[in-house]
């Protein structure tokens, strides 16, 4: 698999097992605390615009194919799908504490929660799962207090600083110290591909100090803007107290790699979903 890579990012590694490729951050593996991964479009059984590793039950794909995709990905990454716990993404900044009682929700059991874009847990073996097609995956690993967090941060979640909220909930629940955390900002749309309107930028101007505006966006001659969600989320993690050297930012844009990764913008909405998975080791 030949990805278009961004030069400044933390190099993500392609791992392939049983014919299923997925992406990992070597820096998260180095914590030795977690199993994690981010899916690609390859290695599944879905067809057409969902080809082939679609992980969405809600976009019109056949349920049996989606379940087979999860099974294949679980075998490849090393998790049991019965231990999955799904987010319920509606572009909020809400983060939920996941406990043993949540095991299987979203995959083998109905979810009894709504409007949850972030998940945290300290239960080994539970697999946090969230879904993407240009929005930003945020992975958080605390190897000291043995806790993890996984969040979905589109532009609304970024304005709402869901990354900081996830860190704060881990501090509250598990005693996590920000300086102990390793964070990863996963494959998502890059600034070169992400044009937004003035009303979106207005919300970023309210959420971020003026000194950072040039790092987050720039205006084009036509009055549109190019928005850098990667840099915005880096700044949010630093605001939350994380050490800069422990914030890993992807080198992969979903839109630049639309043949290998689902991209809402590149496909004009005709697509499946990618998945991010994070499990504290037993």
- The verdict on residue 177 lying in a domain is yes
Pick from 278, 276, 272, 277: which is nearest to 41 by CA?
272
- The verdict on residue 268 lying in a domain is yes
- The verdict on residue 8 lying in a domain is no
Residues 61 and 59: their CA atoms lie apart, in Å, by: 6
Position 184 scores a pLDDT of 98
Largest distance between two CA atoms of the chain: 54
pTM higher than 0.95: yes
Output the domain CATH number for residue 58.
Answer: 3.60.140.10
Position 10 scores a pLDDT of 76
- The verdict on residue 129 lying in a domain is yes
Query: Residue 112 has which token pair?
Result: 């009894």
The CA radius of gyration of the chain, in Å to the nearest whole number, is 18
- The verdict on residue 95 lying in a domain is yes
Position 9 scores a pLDDT of 74
Q: Which residue range(s) make up the domain with 113?
A: 13-189+243-280
- The verdict on residue 195 lying in a domain is no
- The verdict on residue 201 lying in a domain is no
- The verdict on residue 229 lying in a domain is no
- The pLDDT averaged over each successive group of 10 residues in the chain (282 residues) is 86 96 98 98 98 97 98 98 98 98 98 98 98 98 98 98 98 98 98 98 98 98 97 98 97 98 98 98 94
Buried b (16+ CB within 10 A) or exposed e, 67-100: eebbebbbebbebebebbbbbbbebbbbbbbbee
Tally of domains within the chain: 1
């Amino acid at each position: 698999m030949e990805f278009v890579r961004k030069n400044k990012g933390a190099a993500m590694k392609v791992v392939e097992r049983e014919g299923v490729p997925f992406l990992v951050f070597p820096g998260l593996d180095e914590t030795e605390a977690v199993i994690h991964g981010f899916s690609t479009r390859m290695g599944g059984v879905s067809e057409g615009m969902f080809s082939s590793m679609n992980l969405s039950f809600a976009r019109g794909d056949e349920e049996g194919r989606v379940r087979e995709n999860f099974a294949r990905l679980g075998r490849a990454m090393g998790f049991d799908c019965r231990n999955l716990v799904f987010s319920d993404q509606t572009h909020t900044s809400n983060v939920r504490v996941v406990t043993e009682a949540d095991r299987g929700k979203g995959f083998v059991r109905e979810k009894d929660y709504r409007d949850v874009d972030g998940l945290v847990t300290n239960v080994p073996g539970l697999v946090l799962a969230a879904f993407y097609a240009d929005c930003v995956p945020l992975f958080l690993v605390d190897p000291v207090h043995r806790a993890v967090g996984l969040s979905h941060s589109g532009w609304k979640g970024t304005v709402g600083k869901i990354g900081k909220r996830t860190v704060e909930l881990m501090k509250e629940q598990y005693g996590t110290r920000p300086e102990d955390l390793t964070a990863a900002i996963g494959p998502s749309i890059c600034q070169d591909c992400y044009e937004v309107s003035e009303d979106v930028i207005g919300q970023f101007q309210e959420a971020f100090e003026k000194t950072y505006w040039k790092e987050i966006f720039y205006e084009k001659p036509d009055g549109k803007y190019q928005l850098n969600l990667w840099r915005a989320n880096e700044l949010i993690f630093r605001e939350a107290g994380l050490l800069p050297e422990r914030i890993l930012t992807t080198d992969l844009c979903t839109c630049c790699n639309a043949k290998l990764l689902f991209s809402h913008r590149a496909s004009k909405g005709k697509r499946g979903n990618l998945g991010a998975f994070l499990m504290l080791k037993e």
